[in-house]
Structure 1
């Protein structure tokens, strides 16, 4: 039985009558009752009608606005297209064209041809002939999957609410009154389980920003912040991916008392992790699903013996074919965007078996490798066990046609020694059969959605990892137990971590991420940004002119950078005007000492030293943008009531620099040791100077000297 498309609205209306003042949504600073929620949805529905919006990108941070616009789009039967924050500029352009988007809610839309309208929240573009969609499509969820171009999964509201209703049936006995969204709402799993399900139950969905929960852009996750949020909001339920669960359990061996249900999915969960979590009191229940099946297919139930990923939900049917592949029926996608409609049954590509009434997964068909001795190994099984070790944050295991398996290891911190990693691998190997054990390993930089090595749900993108590390993983030559050969980019990241951390922990930066800076401070930042950004293109030109012959290939990269960066200083002046500042005065002002020294340092290095030092500046500015810019822009815009046109510099760089950083990594990996050392030295200096610039802004707002902050930075 499929749910009616307006079923969620009917339930919200019912709660607005029977429990009018119960809180439906909160972000920690603002709360909406069920009565308020109806009013806010109605207002946004009218705004969508006024704008004649039909195919709409939703590109906001977690919070009330994301939820309200999403619900309004559902009630209006518009085509909603959530935009994951980590998607690159190229991927976003692909989505805009493939989906034929005519409207955009959020930041960064000007980059893709959208123009301001009479509604400050909605930008639009003219689409003469929008691509044909499957009949009934009201949601397109784009998944990065295993290829660079995101694939659009077309769904209808009935499928979304059918899964919601099934989940409500399963968790009803737990009397869940409050859910805390730890994952991005652009993730279908959290969208359904963290927004629609609580509202279906008449509960409260708690939606802090991602930064407030400890997510640090491309740089990782800070578990203490998440645990503080859990302590503050006292949720009854959470949704997590395995790596997030591992981090939380490591930091809180005694589970928070308010929790009654923690659903874990998105990727294979190591049995050891589940056992450790449950022994520590975490009420963890493993599930299974895919976007093509509207997220959740199977889930373990409270009060039932845990078995694999649990029984199919009430709406779903599962069959296992002669090859062990799972086929699913019920609440399926309408079809992939631009492809044929979906059939009644969907072949998942996952293998598994029945264990009583439950399904036990055996791995992805295409990910299972066969060793040189003919043994089949599911790498997710081994990777999951490796990641239960405190020394190991992430792992990729490979052994196709090899006599001994190899692993890429991401240490839990840069302080983890090789001896500790050896000991962790030994501990896991003792629990594995010989054919699945890891016999050689190499350190790797973190796998993230930003570098295209991880999907939003935490699955490894093995094609991208093989492209980056295939020379070692697939080599037929024997390897020692330990291989510490890092790429040049990994060496750059490792050698600059301390300086990068000093910058990212600058108090005013943290306040910006929380939306807690004044308009004067924001305008001061834009003023300083103008005075270093206006030199970017001239410095790139000087760098290209002075590169030695051995680095001729870098000139091509510089040409691309110049085309992308040209005119960005004018964006900053436009932002200053739109925010109510004096752009002419900002341009004429004398920049702070740290800002002047940043430019002078790079100019001197380019003109009188090794010009490749310029790329140390690129490492700092673009790496910082991907980690901070988009989140800071959203919080600043909300707290200061700024129009989209006042945060163009931040929003454009938050999305553009994700793609730039991947391109930058390719260039750095081609540098020799001598040139790499120059980039590392330059980046460390620039991190200090950039941090001093931020500290100078804060000092001046507090009536202190920016010169003192600079001297402290260089001490």
Structure 2
């Protein structure tokens, strides 16, 4: 029997989008018809290049049933990244939505399923994959070149089971706000709700107000949440900051919301508390693709807002020189990197600490800066505190080998006066030790994502590129401060 089917839920709505909805009975039948069609194609690797929709979920589940490797293609990848993904994974079949089909050079053919097209691909050689690979999820990385993380079905379902049991929301209604090619939304937004008889609403980019990976029509997202009245959603820190601002400006979050998971970056405890005071039941977690997504999470029953929560039941961890080493449920290895296959532990690259059973993320090992007084400082910590002020769209903290930390700021409101910026910095500095305080700052007149090469396609800053781009301004800032203090 399929893992997501129970007789007691057979008439419940399992999946819904703007065009259709399927009960659990109908879901099983729909997955089976797609499994049979995929089996007839006689392929081993299928790439999914579609907007969030019922069909995305059906083909993902059909690949599981057919024992075919699923390769999600993020709709926010560049054309070059998409081409690389398809070639590197040697996908043999591309299942594509109508909108995405228009971006491809080759003409797509119609499948037996409405609004689903396909292309046969002809890879020259198969990729080197660890045995048991059922999904290849691509992370853009800081260089922009996607890296293929190989996962088994069981590793993904293990995380989903942990989430379902730990969060404890029965027959939850979940609204998917992140792209389904994002592993977190795939596992926590589809698999986990289906395990408890829940309903998953799959909104398109237009409904969500997104263009690629960016929120461009925020009012559309708020309207969608108000309309759908979900019990749970998943946010990245930028979306949480936006929702807090929306609440401050009068938007009322629906009373139906019981659990808002936030991950993908460090969030300050101040922002979490601020969100909760405004009626947003926010819980921070931590995870990464190499661990099949979520590793730790705060919940209603175990909550420390300053932390990323307790380890989920399937996960084990230890520290090595402050770095988090995870075991218990890992990826199978990186595609085409046999030296990475079948790990028993994974060094995350994240600096962490434990307070009792609660995991605290301090920053990335490679991002740690050492000031001219020899103090080790994690810039993410200071950035999270500054972002919690709601005054900045982006913050990059720097200060390697310098006497004090500086900050590059992108303002949330372009007309924010100098004295208001300084007042905000002063307020944040008051809560920081002297070595971590911001001594001076610069403002970028452009959002970082509008400057080519500074942000990955998933919205993460490429620090070295940013510091290089603003190098002259940063050096001038320090020189002026040195002269002033001489």
Task: Give the TM-score of the pair, scaled to structure 2.
Answer: 0.90
The Cα shift of 1:285 comes to 1.1
Q: Is the 8 A contact 2:308 2:361 kept in 1?
A: yes
Mapped to 2, the partners of 1:411 and 1:352 lie a distance apart of: 29
Q: Give the deviation of 1:10 after TM superposition.
A: 2.2
Counterpart pick for 2:331 among 310, 330, 333: 333
CA distance in 1, matches of 2:469, 2:331: 33
Distance in 2 between residues matched to 1:222 and 1:112, nearest whole Å: 25
Closer, same or farther in 2 for the Cα pair 1:475/1:348, shift >3 Å? farther
Cα 1:384–1:221 change in 2 (3 A) is farther
C-alpha change, 1:112 and 1:79, in structure 2 (3 Å) is farther
Alignment partner, residue 203 of structure 1: 198
Instruction: Give 1:43-122 correspondences, 5 Å limit.
Output: 43-106=33-96, 116-117=108-109, 119=111, 121-122=117-118
Distance apart, 1:302 and its partner CA: 1.3
2:139 to 135, 138, 143: 143
Which residue pairs with 2:302 in the alignment?
304
**Greater mean deviation of Cα atoms: 32-41 or 428-437:** 428-437
Q: Determine the structure 2 residue equivalent to 1:186.
A: 181
5 Å-filtered alignment, 1:220-619, equals 220-253=215-248, 255-306=253-304, 308-321=307-320, 323-339=321-337, 340=339, 341-438=341-438, 439-448=440-449, 451=452, 453-455=454-456, 459-473=460-474, 477-479=478-480
Q: Deviations over 1:366-404 (max 9, x none)?
A: 111111222221111111111122321111111111123
Instruction: After TM superposition, give the deviation of residue 118 of structure 1 in Å.
Output: 6.3
- Contact 2:87–2:123 (8 Å) recurs in 1: no
Relative to structure 1, the CA distance from residue 99 to residue 381 in structure 2 (aligned partners, 3 Å threshold; closer, same or farther) is same
CA separation in 2, counterparts of 1:402 and 1:396? Answer: 15
Question: In the TM superposition, what whole-angstrom CA distance separates every residue of 1:161-207 from its partner, at most 9, and x where no partner exists?
Answer: 010111111012x3352001111111101111111111111100011
2:398–2:405 contact (8 Å) kept in structure 1: yes
Work out which of the two has the higher radius of gyration on C-alpha atoms and give 1 or 2.
1
Alignment of 1:154-193 (within 5 A): 154-172=150-168, 174-193=169-188
Q: How far off is 1:217 after superposition?
A: 4.0
Specify the SS of the correspondent of 1:352: strand
**Is the 2:377–2:436 contact (alpha carbons within 8 Å) kept by the matching residues of 1?**
yes
Instruction: Say which of 25, 35, 40 aligns to 2:30.
Output: 40
Match of 1:10, SS state, is coil
Q: 1:474 and 1:83 mapped to 2: Cα distance?
A: 40
CA pair 440-414 structure 1, distance change in 2 beyond 3 A: closer
1:28 to 18, 21, 34: 18
Q: Give the superposition deviation at 1:255.
A: 4.1
Aligned with 1:289: secondary structure?
Answer: strand
- Distance in 1 (alpha carbons) for counterparts of 2:4 and 2:48: 22
Q: CA deviation at 1:258?
A: 0.8
SS state at 1:252 partner: helix
Secondary structure, aligned partner of 2:190: helix
Q: Secondary structure at the match of 1:259?
A: coil
Alpha-carbon distance between aligned partners in 2 of 1:370 and 1:461, rounded to the nearest angstrom: 19
- Report if the CA contact (8 A) 1:140-1:152 is conserved: yes
Distance 1:218 1:358, change over 3 A: closer
- Secondary structure (helix, strand or coil) at the match of 1:445 reads coil
Q: Structure 2 unaligned segments of length 5 or more: list them.
A: none
> Structure 1 residues 191 and 295, CA, compared in 2 at 3 Å: closer, same or farther?
same
Structure 1 position 457, deviation (Å): 6.0
Q: Which has the higher helix share?
A: 1
CA distance in 2, matches of 1:287, 1:278: 15
CA distance in 2, matches of 1:181, 1:449: 26
Q: Secondary structure at the match of 1:37?
A: helix
Q: How far is the alpha carbon of 1:298 from its aligned partner?
A: 0.7
Q: Give the whole-Å Cα distance in 2 for the aligned partners of 1:288 and 1:365.
A: 16
In the alignment, is the contact (CA less than 8 A) between 1:115 and 1:124 conserved in 2?
no
Q: Deviation digits for residues 336-389 of structure 1, max 9, x if unmatched? A: 111121420111111112211121122111111111222221111111111122
SS at structure 2 position matched to 1:141: strand
**Cα gap change, 1:392 to 1:55, in 2 (>3 Å):** same
Residues 352 and 146 of structure 1: CA distance in aligned 2, closer, same or farther (over 3 Å):
same
Of the structure 1 ranges 134-143 and 271-280, higher mean CA displacement relative to structure 2 is found in 271-280
Post-superposition CA distance 1:192-233 (Å, at most 9, x none): 111111111110001111221222447644433222211111
Mapped to 1, the partners of 2:472 and 2:171 lie a distance apart of: 50
Distance 1:164 1:453, change over 3 A: farther
Answer whether contact 2:369 2:398 (CA < 8 A) is retained: yes
Q: State the alpha-carbon separation in 2 of the partners of residues 206 and 110 from structure 1.
A: 25
Q: 2:130 aligns with which of 119, 131, 134?
A: 134
Q: CA deviation at 1:269?
A: 0.7
Supply the distance in 2 between the matched residues of 1:65 and 1:427 (Cα, whole angstroms).
Answer: 49
Q: CA shift at 1:38, angstroms?
A: 1.3
Query: Aligned pair count?
Result: 469
Moved more, 139-148 or 435-444: 435-444
Task: Please show how residues 696-711 of structure 1 align to structure 2 within 5 Å.
Answer: none
Higher strand share: 2
